[in-house]
Each structure stands twice: as C-alpha cells, then as structure tokens.
Amino acid sequence: MSNPKENTEKIKTLCHQWGGSLFGVADLHAFKKEEILLSPFLMDQVSYGISVGFPLSDAILEEIENQPTPLYFHHYQRVNILLDTIGLIMTSAIQDLGHRAVPIPASQIVDWKTQKGHLSHKHLARAAGLGWIGRNNLLVNEQFGSRIRLVTILTDIPLVISSPAINDCGSCLDCLSVCPAGAIKVRQEEFDHFRCYEQLRTFAKTLHFSHNICGVCVKACRGPK
C-alpha cells in the first residue's frame, strides 16, 4: 500500500519542476455525477482530482487594454499545451507507480450547447484549495489573482486531500467596470454568461482569432486588496 504523503510530495515536486506553481488535491466524491462528463466506468476507477495552476505572463497581460492582443492569443495557446504536457507527465509518473491517471484537456469543449468541458477545472481547483470563484466567474488565487490557467488530472493513487481556501473577493470590485460586455456583477451568481460569450465571439470574428478569448477580466484580477 503506497503512502499518501510520499505520493503527494513526489507528484507535487514533478509539477513544480514543470512550471506548475499551484498544486492541490480534491476529493472527487464531493462532486455530483452530472458535473463530470465521463463514463461511470471510468469514474469508478478514480477518487482524487489533482489541480495544477500555471501563472500567465504579467507583461503580456498588461499590454491588454480592452480587447485581446495577438501576443495574448499565442500565450493562451502555448500555456494550454504546457498544461496538457504537465498532465501527461504526471500521468506517466503515476502509472509508473502502479496506478491509474486521466489527464483532462486544458481547454476542450464536449457539450457545445451548454459550453462545457469534461469537468470544470475552476470548480475542481476551488475544491483543491487553489482559491475561490470570484465576481469575474474565474478562479481567484490569493497570490496570482485570476492570472492563472488550470488543468486537472484524475487518479486513484492515494493522496493527501487539500483544504479548500476560505477567502473571497471581499470589497474588491476591480473587474466590474473593465468588462466590455458588462457581464460582471457584484453578486457572482448574477454573472452574465451569455453577454460574455457574445463578446468573445465578436472579438474572434473582428480580430480574426480562431478561439473565443478576451483576457480583460484576467488582467484586472490581482486578488482582493
């Protein structure tokens, strides 16, 4: 029987070596079946979700005024590739230890109608102690704010589960006025998904990006003051 503490340290070290600054572990039993779009057979084989966060370049984000830049678009794509690579490397290391691992794509949509991936990296990151869901509808980390991208690896290797973060946005409202779509509200539950989505589609069409990106509320969020 392998030791959860030793396993966690081993995988965390690997994560840091590959540039993943944030690492946490969530208990998958806390998630409802319908929140994860994977087969019940596969889900029966895994108990933990490892969440990894990679900090974006502050210099690239600071060039963004009120729309995405070509440099941000390239950065977004490369960070997704790196996160997927970290997922693969961690999968291989876990399999070498005799266990199962499933890297979830950093940015893949499987239900286009409701715009969902296999699972929400944000919700998993929150459960894994990386931060909270902010007014901008993104995962906000104490140290990096929302200036991070995320990936998840599901596994059955025994690990130490992290405690969820207890913070929230507090009185900060920095992201509200900057959103070009007016999608961000004081109450996070009132975030307007559709206004945001339409704005990103407009950016993609007018700026000729092949993905729906923006980055304005990512830049705005350095966490609460």
Of the two residues 8 and 137, which places its CB atom closer to ligand B12 in the complex?
A: 137
Judged by CB under 6 A, the chain residues 142 through 201 that form the site for ligand B12 are 146, 148-151, 193-194, 196-197, 200
Contact status, residue 101 vs residue 153, Cβ threshold 8 Å: yes
126 interacts with, out of ligand B12, ligand SF4, none, CB within 5 to 8 A per kind? none
Does 94 participate in binding ligand B12 (rule CB under 6 A)? no
d(CA 52, CA 215): 20
78 interacts with, out of ligand B12, ligand SF4, none, CB within 5 to 8 A per kind? none
Of the two residues 158 and 224, which places its CB atom closer to ligand SF4 in the complex?
A: 224
Closest CA to 67 of 188, 210, 209, 174: 209
d(CA 11, CA 199): 39
Closest CA to 82 of 34, 19, 28, 26: 19
173 interacts with, out of ligand SF4, ligand B12, none, CB within 5 to 8 A per kind? ligand SF4
Could you tell me the smallest distance in angstroms from the CB atom of residue 20 to ligand B12? 12
216 interacts with, out of ligand SF4, ligand B12, none, CB within 5 to 8 A per kind? ligand SF4
* Residues in contact with ligand SF4 by the rule CB under 6 A: 134-136, 140, 145-146, 169, 172-175, 179-181, 183-184, 196, 199, 214, 216-217, 220-221, 223-224
Q: Given the rule CB under 6 A, which of 24-32, 59-67, 86-94, 119-127 is the region that contacts ligand B12?
A: 119-127
Could you tell me the smallest distance in angstroms from the CB atom of residue 78 to ligand B12? 12
120 interacts with, out of ligand SF4, ligand B12, none, CB within 5 to 8 A per kind? ligand B12
Distances (CA, A) of 39 to 55, 84, 116, 222: 31, 21, 15, 37
| SS3 of residue 172 by DSSP | coil
Contact status, residue 48 vs residue 55, Cβ threshold 8 Å: no
Which residue reads 């507090």 in tokens? 170
Contact status, residue 202 vs residue 213, Cβ threshold 8 Å: no
Maximum Cα–Cα distance across the chain? 56
Kindly list the residues in this chain that would bind ligand B12 in the complex (CB under 6 A): 76, 106-107, 109, 114-117, 120-122, 136-139, 146, 148-151, 193-194, 196-197, 200, 212-215, 217-218
